[in-house]
Amino acid sequence: MVQPDAPFGVVLAAVAPVFRRIAPVTLALAFVLQAAPAGRQAQEPWSVDLAEIRHAAGLVPGPRPVRLHVRKFAESRRTKNFSVRGAPADPSVQARTAFQVVFPDSYVMVDAGMDRDVHRFFGRGADEPYDDAAAAEVQRAVNGARLIVVTHEHGDHVAGVVRGATAAKLAAKTVLTRTQVDVLRTRPQMPEIRLTAAAARRFIVVDYDRLLPVAPGIVLVKAAGHTPGSQLVYVALESGREYLLIGDTAWHMDGVRLVRGKDAPWVTEDEAAVLAQLRWLHDLARTAPQLQIVASHDEEQHTELARRGMLSNRLEIR
């Protein structure tokens, strides 16, 4: 019997035998309609629980980090309408950055910078600012890191560990997700960052469902959307201060404030997933105001956080 609350497809399937001799086309239609709700059920909107993230942050024993730094090493000039759908075409700077989570005895790098050749790709013909000294500083910090993770598999975040003379050595202390490796192997953003099978094997490759604690106070949060391998990086300092590094989920924090995605024809995102993430981040800013959400490329936000003493544009090289 068909239950009163059965999905429409189930109802159709139940009555379908009646039509069997009348119209095979109807049967086919019933099958299609029946399949549709199941597909929708499988695609639940992206969501994650901050309480679970905080719990996971306490699972790896040891002292928590004490400081967070960001280092800007290059710029892209993009008017704001590309970063935030519907925004006016005002001039805007996309800072190319890497983050450093400093522990008492070592540090973790979040993102690994990029060399000038990869930077050129992002200029799409224009010659955009690249600070050689700052980029070299990022590379030195990456070389000296205890552990490296990346927010996603795009060149401006990952090139520092997949190209260059020290790449093979860096891979042994770099955690990439299975998805990030798969994308870098089979459909990299640019040919320069394609991983060979041999190079891919050198990395520490992980697969996880929702959360992965990687160090005291640091949790990776799966957030496919901007790219298939995108993840957020939660950081809780010893002082109790909390950050959520959201990579490129939003290029500008107005995307979070207004819950609006990008409008950049050159990126292919899972727009529904990104919107669900923006909505979650938007709510988080209200329900957990002590947690500081940080976008990788939002120059205005980094300047404001530096002014408030929450983030400094420097690296501690050890």
Residues contributing to the site for Zn ion (CB under 5 A)? 156, 248
Please say whether the dihedral angle defined by the alpha carbons of residues 269, 272, 276 and 278, taken in this order, is positive or negative: positive
Work out how close the CB of 40 gets to Zn ion at its nearest, in angstroms, rounded to a whole number.
31
Work out how close the CB of 300 gets to Zn ion at its nearest, in angstroms, rounded to a whole number.
16
CB closer to Zn ion, 248 vs 269? 248
β partners of residue 234: 219, 244
Q: For the beta carbon of residue 95, count every other beta carbon within 10 angstroms.
A: 21
E strands in the chain = 67-77, 93-102, 107-110, 147-149, 174-177, 204-206, 211-215, 218-222, 231-236, 242-245, 291-294, 312-313
Structure-block tokens of residue 230: 């995108």
Q: For 127, how many CA atoms within 13 A lie in the half-sphere containing its CB?
A: 0
Work out how close the CB of 157 gets to Zn ion at its nearest, in angstroms, rounded to a whole number.
6
CA distance 205 to 195: 13
162 within 8 A of 195, measured Cβ to Cβ: yes
Work out how close the CB of 189 gets to Zn ion at its nearest, in angstroms, rounded to a whole number.
10
113 within 8 A of 142, measured Cβ to Cβ: yes
CA distance 305 to 318: 24
Task: Say whether 93 sits in a helix, a strand or coil.
Answer: strand
Buried b vs exposed e over 53-65: b needs ≥16 C-beta within 10 Å?
Answer: bbebbeeeeeebb
What are the backbone dihedrals phi and psi of residue 239, each rounded to the nearest 5 degrees, phi first?
-70, -10
CB closer to Zn ion, 103 vs 130? 130
Among 204, 211, 215, 258, which Cα is nearest to 231's? Answer: 211
The residue type found at 208 is Y
Work out how close the CB of 156 gets to Zn ion at its nearest, in angstroms, rounded to a whole number.
4
Q: How far is CA 248 from the centre of its chain?
A: 6
Work out how close the CB of 111 gets to Zn ion at its nearest, in angstroms, rounded to a whole number.
8
